[in-house]
Amino acid sequence: MSFNNFGLSAALLRAVNEQGYDTPTPVQAQAIPAVLEGGDIMAAAQTGTGKTAGFTLPMLELLSRNAPKGHARPVRALILTPTRELTAQVQESVNTYGRYLPLRSMVIFGGVGMQPQVQKLRRGVDILVATPGRLLDHMRQRTVDLSQVEILVLDEADRMLDMGFIHDIRKVISALPKQRQTLLFSATFSDEIRKLASGMLNQPTQIEVARRNTAAEMVTQVVHPVSRDSKRGLLSKLVSEGNWQQVLVFTRTKHGADRLARQLEQDGLGAAAIHGNKSQAARTRALAQFKQGKVRLLVATDIAARGLDIEQLPHVVNFDLPSVPEDYVHRIGRTGRAGYGGKALSLVCVDEGKLLRDIERVLNKSIEKQVVAGFEPDPAERAQPLFKKPMGRRPAPGGGRRPQRGRPASAAGRR
Ligand code: AMP
């Protein structure tokens, strides 16, 4: 199987070739011909499967085949994604693969001024890559016209639903022509996604490239049981002694990400934090520093990390376990990408026991536990119930009520 078999134009093949890809990934092998035939697709594919090229290449091919005559430049393709980062990355792919085609694209996301976007829209673009909220702002102000859209892509649809974009998505779709091609990509297919899909897709080709959670199987996973207060010390030790140079660290909250990055800096390890409260410029700068190796650790919340395209990441650390088990799978999917092995470590303290069991249930396997010498969990913590039980049933050793360390996961704000 080669990219030459799809009937893509020489301009696209040249760009693909320059990327050094010779074999289409499984999702590309299925999605590219299906999209070129003009039908709708519904694809279960996670980040790291090559899904972006899977929809971008045939989309560019179709747009360039039917280029409109004259000077008018209506928006003909709309790609909706959940986050600013993903928006920027998808556009980067559109630019890369479309390098030799006369098509214009732009990104639309919130947190930056409207006016530059308005001006750019006015000059005319063929392809919009947008987050739903800001796109709706433009629709309300009538600064964007979506009446000529031929192709709609929903990328990471499950994540958009998780983030509460369902109403925004429906509003955007109601402004699009009924006659259009719709491509829906989602890591998982929940009932909610199927419901969304049934209303907007027309006899879609279903594409399933790999069983859910396969990313998890390529990655070496280990749990280090440790006291909450010793997590940072253990992380610093592992990074220093292992001489790890590029580590993506997940925390559950934005505040936790900031604090940990500061503390790691104090330990003499270059670290930056990336989360939704940071300005776009700060996030872009942190990611660039991390990619260039100027900082060794990037501390991120789940939403901020979603869609970050960092290739061959060798180490992912769960400083806190995520409150949703599927997020664990997304997180560790950041390592071991495109066939490279990777290592995912989780620093798990006593009040995360239930989260760990939920994750192991989703993975359908137990994760190896390794206690690191010098970082054994406090024996008193080990004897504590995993979650607070009604008082009096199981007193903590010593009989007294120990102050609770950390917060029970169920009370922790998500991200
Ligand atoms: P995605 O799942 O779209 O985020 O892509 C994951 C990574 O795979 C990206 O860094 C792409 O550059 C890379 N990639 C996409 N298609 C191919 C291919 N056919 N061969 C090798 N790498 C690829």
pLDDT tens readout for residues 360-396: 887 778 899 999 999 999 876 655 544 333 333 343 3
Measuring CA to CA, how many Å separate 33 from each of 106, 200, 206? 26, 21, 13
* Pairing outcome for strands 247-250 and 205-208: unpaired
CA of 54 to the centre of ligand 1 (A): 9
Of the residues 208, 229, 249, the one at which a domain ends: 208
Q: How many domains does the chain have?
A: 2
CA of 46 to the centre of ligand 1 (A): 11
Helix/strand/coil (H, E, C) string of 68-136? CCCCCCCCCEEEECCCHHHHHHHHHHHHHHCCCCCCCEEEECCCCCHHHHHHHHHHCCCEEEECHHHHH
pLDDT for the residue 213: 43
Atom of ligand 1 nearest to the CA of 48: 2
Instruction: With respect to residue 153, please indicate whether it lies within any of the assigned structural domains.
Output: yes
Instruction: Kindly indicate the confidence band of residue 1, based on its pLDDT and cuts at 50, 70 and 90.
Output: confident
Of the residues 176, 208, 240, the one at which a domain ends: 208
pLDDT for the residue 58: 98
Instruction: With respect to residue 326, please indicate whether it lies within any of the assigned structural domains.
Output: yes
List, chain by chain if needed, residues with CB within 6 Å of any ligand 1 atom: 21, 23-25, 28, 47-53, 309, 311, 338
Q: Are residues 90 and 185 in the same domain?
A: yes
pLDDT over 70 percentage in the chain: 86
CA of 156 to the centre of ligand 1 (A): 16
- What amino acid occupies position 256? G
Q: Identify the DSSP state of 287.
A: H
Q: What number of other Cβ atoms are within 10 A of residue 410's Cβ?
A: 10
Nearest CA to ligand 1 atom 17: 50
Please determine, for residue 87, whether its predicted confidence score (pLDDT) is greater than 50.
yes
Atom of ligand 1 nearest to the CA of 21: 20
Q: What is the mean pLDDT of residues 129-135?
A: 97
Cβ(215)–Cβ(329) under 8 Å? yes
Nearest CA to ligand 1 atom 14: 50
Q: Are residues 184 and 286 in the same domain?
A: no
CA of 314 to the centre of ligand 1 (A): 17
Please determine, for residue 247, whether its predicted confidence score (pLDDT) is greater than 80.
yes
Instruction: With respect to residue 266, please indicate whether it lies within any of the assigned structural domains.
Output: yes
Q: What number of other Cβ atoms are within 10 A of residue 285's Cβ?
A: 15
Nearest CA to ligand 1 atom 11: 50
At 328, which CATH number? Answer: 3.40.50.300
Please determine, for residue 28, whether its predicted confidence score (pLDDT) is greater than 90.
yes
3-class SS of residue 392:
coil
Measuring CA to CA, how many Å separate 245 from each of 99, 191, 240, 316? 33, 41, 9, 11
Nearest CA to ligand 1 atom 16: 50
Atom of ligand 1 nearest to the CA of 51: 3
Residue with tokens 């092998």: 29
pLDDT for the residue 103: 95
Atom of ligand 1 nearest to the CA of 311: 10
Tokens for 75?
């928006």
Q: What is the mean pLDDT of residues 33-40?
A: 97
CA of 31 to the centre of ligand 1 (A): 14
Q: Are residues 180 and 295 in the same domain?
A: no
Higher pLDDT, 398 or 217: 217
Of the residues 187, 208, 229, the one at which a domain ends: 208
Q: Are residues 108 and 146 in the same domain?
A: yes
Give every strand in the sheet of 127-130, ordered side by side. Answer: 105-108, 127-130, 77-80, 151-154, 181-186, 41-44, 205-208
Q: Are residues 204 and 342 in the same domain?
A: no
Q: Are residues 198 and 343 in the same domain?
A: no
Instruction: With respect to residue 339, please indicate whether it lies within any of the assigned structural domains.
Output: yes
- At a CB cut-off of 8 Å and minimum separation 6, what does 4 contact? 13
Instruction: With respect to residue 405, please indicate whether it lies within any of the assigned structural domains.
Output: no
pLDDT digits (tens, 9 = 90+) for 389-408: 333 334 334 333 333 433 33
Cβ(354)–Cβ(386) under 8 Å? yes
Averaging pLDDT over each range in 157-166, 204-213, 310-319, 330-339, which range is the top one? 157-166
Instruction: Kindly indicate the confidence band of residue 217, based on its pLDDT and cuts at 50, 70 and 90.
Output: low
Which range is least confidently modeled, 10-19, 310-319, 374-383? 374-383
Q: Are residues 283 and 193 in the same domain?
A: no
pLDDT for the residue 285: 87
pLDDT for the residue 309: 61
pLDDT for the residue 210: 55
Q: Are residues 174 and 204 in the same domain?
A: yes
Q: Are residues 137 and 247 in the same domain?
A: no
User: DSSP per residue over 156-189, as a string?
Assistant: SHHHHHHTT-HHHHHHHHHTS-SS-EEEEEESS-
pLDDT for the residue 135: 97
Q: Are residues 144 and 241 in the same domain?
A: no
CA of 172 to the centre of ligand 1 (A): 28
pLDDT for the residue 384: 52
Residues 295, 281, 232: CA angle, nearest 5 degrees: 35
pLDDT for the residue 216: 56
Instruction: With respect to residue 313, please indicate whether it lies within any of the assigned structural domains.
Output: yes
Q: Are residues 121 and 189 in the same domain?
A: yes
pLDDT for the residue 380: 67
- At a CB cut-off of 8 Å and minimum separation 6, what does 232 contact? 260, 263, 264, 267
Which range is least confidently modeled, 50-64, 137-151, 374-388? 374-388
Q: Are residues 122 and 246 in the same domain?
A: no
pLDDT for the residue 23: 87
Cβ(379)–Cβ(256) under 8 Å? no
Nearest CA to ligand 1 atom 23: 50
pLDDT digits (tens, 9 = 90+) for 253-309: 999 999 999 999 999 999 999 887 888 788 888 888 998 889 999 999 987 776 566
What is the extent of the structural domain holding 37? 3-208
Instruction: With respect to residue 402, please indicate whether it lies within any of the assigned structural domains.
Output: no
* Pairing outcome for strands 315-318 and 247-250: parallel
Please tell me the distance from the alpha carbon of residue 231 to that of residue 331, in angstroms, as a whole number.
18
Give every strand in the sheet of 219-225, ordered side by side. Answer: 271-274, 297-300, 247-250, 315-318, 342-348, 219-225, 368-369
pLDDT for the residue 97: 97
Instruction: With respect to residue 395, please indicate whether it lies within any of the assigned structural domains.
Output: no
Cβ(207)–Cβ(27) under 8 Å? yes
CA of 19 to the centre of ligand 1 (A): 9
Residues 302, 344, 191: CA angle, nearest 5 degrees: 50
Please tell me the distance from the alpha carbon of residue 287 to that of residue 272, in angstroms, as a whole number.
8
pLDDT digits (tens, 9 = 90+) for 173-195: 999 999 999 999 998 888 888 88
Q: Which of 21, 55, 57, 185 to mutate to test the pocket of ligand 1 (most atoms within 8 A of CB)?
A: 21
